[in-house]
Structure 1
Amino acid sequence: MSADQLTETPQLTLSTFAELWDGFRQRDLRQRLYDAGGVVMRDALLDLHGDAHKLRRRVENRLFRRGTFRFWEDELVPRIIDEAFAPSLRAGRGDLVQLGYRTTMNLTARVAGADHPTGSVEETDALQQFAVTFSEGATLVHSTRDHAQVRAEVEEALGRFDAMFFTPSYERRRALAADPAVPEDELPRDVLMAMVRNADELGADRTVMLREVAFYLQAGSHSTSDAFTHAADEILRWRQRHPDLAGRLGDDRFVQRCVHEVFRLHPASPVAERRALADVTLRDGRVVPAGTVVVMDIRAANRDPEVFGADAEEFDPLRTVPDGVPPWGHTFGGGMHACIGMELDGGTVPRDEAGGGPDHVLGTVPLMVRELLRHGVRPDPDHPPTKDPHSKRDHFGTYPVLFDPS
């Protein structure tokens, strides 16, 4: 037995809202949760640290501006939702898990830079399957399957994704970047184009770009789809409990409040993990020795009764939170690794009850939920939802629903 095996790694768990707010902002706590998922996550934005992370973030942040979100919400997202929902609406039934993936996949592929030449259902389903596989690889630490087998499946999927989607997308962007006749405003506005144009500065080769596109593909589609299914589930059960308030679901801003509450209760990652690169002194005076693994219990912090009230475990879209506290808690992280697509998923918080102003963005998940509600969605009584049996995370495996034909 090696010395490493004999030495137990020290560990500290942070679980209150205040503790996580502090922990996320400690620069000497390095991302650790995705170490096991290096087959997809190695050198990806979420796994970088220090100057390398700052540089990659600065390059990619240019794509995630509020004006861009506003354009996508007005022009792109509604069309993608219509196309994805149409077959299920015509059939009068569907599965929320599948609907979520099909809707988010096209948007996520566009953001990542994975060209979708024909826009066919077959292409979308292929991208979806790749995203599912990449997601399991990224979150390998929470997989209940044999880890070696999962890694092998991810490696094989990366090879097929490279041939089918990445290589044509990459070569197209290289040609565009090398052509001085192509105007700046005609270049694709996506992660891959940004990396191709800044490859030397970033020190990113083709393999790193492949993993970055795969990371965006799985992170954007999986977390958004999962939030969408949880949102529909919580709202449908809340509507049944409060029929007298169901009329409020016709208000877009109230639907957004519901979704923010769902984000709080169902974070895409229930925990974050960091490793102390040096001794770290927390705001409460505790010293975290170098090498300590710091587990940040996001789920517990998001249910902290000191911040969210005595009923913090319950879904309550009428909940009010203290000033300075996001309604979704720590779901989108904080500090250097705050989720880059936060406003794309959940929009912006309205300034007041009267509205959010001209820059207010609803977000992709509220728009998707709104479309369900407009078509009289209800659970399928003959086919109850099921949870994903292969993950320790709280994911739905299936969620059959019916739609009102009228």
Structure 2
Amino acid sequence: MASDPSAQSGQCPFSRIEIEKLDVLQKVLRSKAVEEDANVSADNYLHPDELGAINVKAFQEGNLAMSKGDAHRKRRRLLNQLVRPEQLVHYREEIILPAVQRWMGRKAEENADGTFSIDLAGVVELIFLEFAAKIIGIQGVESEEGMARLRGCALPIFGGLSAAHFENREEVTNAGLEARKVFVEEFYKPSLEFAKSQLVQVEAGDLSEDEVPLNLLHMIATEAVEDYADEETGVKEAILFFVATTGTSAQAVMSTVDYLIGWFEEHPEDRQRIEDMEFVSNALQETLRLRAPFVPYLTRLAVDDVDVDEVEIKAGDEIHAYIARAGRDSDVFGGDSNQFNPDRTIPEGINRYGLAFATGPHQCLGLRTVLGNDGKSGSHLRMVQGLFRAGIRRDPDRQVQTLPLKHSDDPRDQIPTFVSFPVILDNWSNVA
């Protein structure tokens, strides 16, 4: 826990407070004295610059994560409808799992020895893109061409939203802006008009309300909360959902596969445990503890003075919440806290995934989508299970590729963002 000395050089009266202890972070994130802030998130608060301002305006300002108070509570209650138990079953059984079969079948290439080669990054991204399209209400992705066009937006928009964390920030930002333009003009606007046309059909009696799917753009079209009357708020809400349901989901699945391959190499007798959903859930949660939120830290702004244990935070201070470091807190998770261990004993009152979904009023909306209502039935878990049933292993002839994060001497901050993840499937039997 430290203050950034450069922030106290006379340029600004506020400090940058870095927190990495799990118990302290948990209290801070739950405190009413701290809030989300777009400028802090974009590294445009203590040291404002043009790239930070672009990141705020184009990707962050006004989305759910940056909303506060009553506005946040109203939007949160509305959006909670998208993760009701019956919706989770619908997503898993009618969207995600069928997409796994379809895209794996299309993209796996048979080798001479009867195995199959595939780039897991591309396929997992396509699967979650279908999910994103449904939960947001995006039209125009029924063809492979439409899906390919949408896919071209996914990684650049993730980078644009998270640009402060990447070494080549200007390049990442520019790519994000270009992808945003495509997303808005080719997908968001036509899809919103489609949602509005459905409302007209319902009003005319040509369509029943039950025939209109529940999705984000329907909520925006009806202006279910007053914030959605602002066009830019709707755009950035859709961007947030797009990143959350594609980028972070894809990285969670690939990182779990990455860790489990290594675990099974060292513990071959455990490979049969892939049929045990509690084991799969423990593995995914252990992965999230170590790597989520797939950037080194989350940010908050102190709006009031608050002291948590020995950490003094003053109103106006910028807080860097090192979630993955907190997930490796040896006081909580033991002396081997830097290691992946799906059989880890977790102290009572502590979540196995640490603070991967954050906590407090801004806890991630997707927690139940990932793990399921019972912690063992989520779509991501079923996907991981299916990949290991198919005999997944690393491709010995091709290397993974990742986006370069800002340099850090702390190994806990070296969280990969996979761009390419080549694998071999030994037992894939559903190739079209």
TM-score, structure 1 normalization:
0.90
Indicate conservation of the 8 Å contact 1:134/1:215, yes or no.
no
Quote the residue 1:159 is aligned against. Answer: 181
Would the alpha carbon gap of residues 116 and 324 (structure 1) be closer, same or farther in structure 2, given more than 3 Å must change? farther
Write the distance in 2 (CA, Å) between the matches of 1:152 and 1:296: 27
Alignment of 1:276-315 (within 5 A): 276-282=302-308, 284=309, 286-315=311-340
| CA deviation vs aligned residue, 1:66-98 (integer Å, no higher than 9, x gap) | 221123223322111111211244531111211
Q: What letter corresponds to residue 73 of structure 1 in structure 2?
A: R
Write the distance in 1 (CA, Å) between the matches of 2:192 and 2:219: 11
Write the distance in 1 (CA, Å) between the matches of 2:337 and 2:132: 32
Alignment of 1:319-398 (within 5 A): 319-350=344-375, 362-389=377-404, 393-398=415-420
Question: Secondary structure of the residue that 2:404 maps to in structure 1?
Answer: coil
Write the distance in 1 (CA, Å) between the matches of 2:236 and 2:167: 23
Quote the residue 1:100 is aligned against. Answer: 124
Indicate conservation of the 8 Å contact 1:333/1:339, yes or no.
yes
1:204 deviation in Å?
Answer: 3.2
Would the alpha carbon gap of residues 280 and 117 (structure 1) be closer, same or farther in structure 2, given more than 3 Å must change? same
Quote the residue 1:27 is aligned against. Answer: 32
Indicate conservation of the 8 Å contact 1:389/1:397, yes or no.
no
Would the alpha carbon gap of residues 219 and 34 (structure 1) be closer, same or farther in structure 2, given more than 3 Å must change? farther
Quote the residue 1:110 is aligned against. Answer: 134
Q: What letter corresponds to residue 81 of structure 1 in structure 2?
A: V
- Aligned-residue CA RMSD (Å): 2.2
1:200 deviation in Å?
Answer: 5.7
Question: Secondary structure of the residue that 1:62 maps to in structure 2?
Answer: helix
| CA deviation vs aligned residue, 1:233-275 (integer Å, no higher than 9, x gap) | 1001100000122211222332122111111111123311111
Quote the residue 2:21 is aligned against. Answer: 16
Would the alpha carbon gap of residues 11 and 255 (structure 1) be closer, same or farther in structure 2, given more than 3 Å must change? same
Quote the residue 2:5 is aligned against. Answer: none
Alignment of 1:189-338 (within 5 A): 189-199=214-224, 201-268=226-293, 269-282=295-308, 284=309, 286-338=311-363
Alignment of 1:183-194 (within 5 A): 183-194=208-219
Question: Secondary structure of the residue that 1:320 maps to in structure 2?
Answer: coil
Quote the residue 1:76 is aligned against. Answer: 95
Question: Secondary structure of the residue that 2:41 maps to in structure 1?
Answer: coil
Write the distance in 1 (CA, Å) between the matches of 2:247 and 2:130: 12
| CA deviation vs aligned residue, 1:95-132 (integer Å, no higher than 9, x gap) | 121122111111012112212452x2222222122121
Question: Secondary structure of the residue that 1:6 maps to in structure 2?
Answer: coil
Indicate conservation of the 8 Å contact 1:276/1:293, yes or no.
yes
Identify the match of residue 67 of structure 2 among 7, 25, 48: 48
Number of positions where the alignment pairs a residue of Structure 1 with one of Structure 2: 391
Quote the residue 2:48 is aligned against. Answer: none
Write the distance in 2 (CA, Å) between the matches of 1:159 and 1:388: 22
1:226 deviation in Å?
Answer: 0.7
Identify the match of residue 83 of structure 2 among 59, 64, 67: 64
Would the alpha carbon gap of residues 26 and 380 (structure 1) be closer, same or farther in structure 2, given more than 3 Å must change? same
Q: What letter corresponds to residue 68 of structure 1 in structure 2?
A: Q
1:390 deviation in Å?
Answer: 5.8
Q: What letter corresponds to residue 382 of structure 2 in structure 1?
A: L
1:124 and 2:124 equivalent? no
| CA deviation vs aligned residue, 1:287-329 (integer Å, no higher than 9, x gap) | 4211111111111110112221221111111112122211111
Quote the residue 2:113 is aligned against. Answer: none
TM-score, structure 2 normalization:
0.85
Would the alpha carbon gap of residues 165 and 23 (structure 1) be closer, same or farther in structure 2, given more than 3 Å must change? same
1:4 deviation in Å?
Answer: 9.6
Would the alpha carbon gap of residues 285 and 380 (structure 1) be closer, same or farther in structure 2, given more than 3 Å must change? closer
Q: What letter corresponds to residue 111 of structure 1 in structure 2?
A: I
Indicate conservation of the 8 Å contact 1:114/1:213, yes or no.
no
Question: Secondary structure of the residue that 1:228 maps to in structure 2?
Answer: helix
Would the alpha carbon gap of residues 373 and 200 (structure 1) be closer, same or farther in structure 2, given more than 3 Å must change? closer
Write the distance in 2 (CA, Å) between the matches of 1:171 and 1:306: 53
| CA deviation vs aligned residue, 1:173-196 (integer Å, no higher than 9, x gap) | 112224322333222211111122
Would the alpha carbon gap of residues 164 and 247 (structure 1) be closer, same or farther in structure 2, given more than 3 Å must change? same
1:199 deviation in Å?
Answer: 4.9
Quote the residue 1:174 is aligned against. Answer: 196
Write the distance in 2 (CA, Å) between the matches of 1:5 and 1:126: 47
Q: What letter corresponds to residue 46 of structure 1 in structure 2?
A: A
Write the distance in 1 (CA, Å) between the matches of 2:261 and 2:215: 35
1:164 deviation in Å?
Answer: 1.4
Indicate conservation of the 8 Å contact 1:34/1:47, yes or no.
no
Per mean C-alpha deviation after superposition, the further-off stretch among 49-58 and 370-379 is 49-58
Indicate conservation of the 8 Å contact 2:159/2:173, yes or no.
no
Would the alpha carbon gap of residues 5 and 398 (structure 1) be closer, same or farther in structure 2, given more than 3 Å must change? farther
**Dislocated runs of 4+, deviation >6 Å:** none
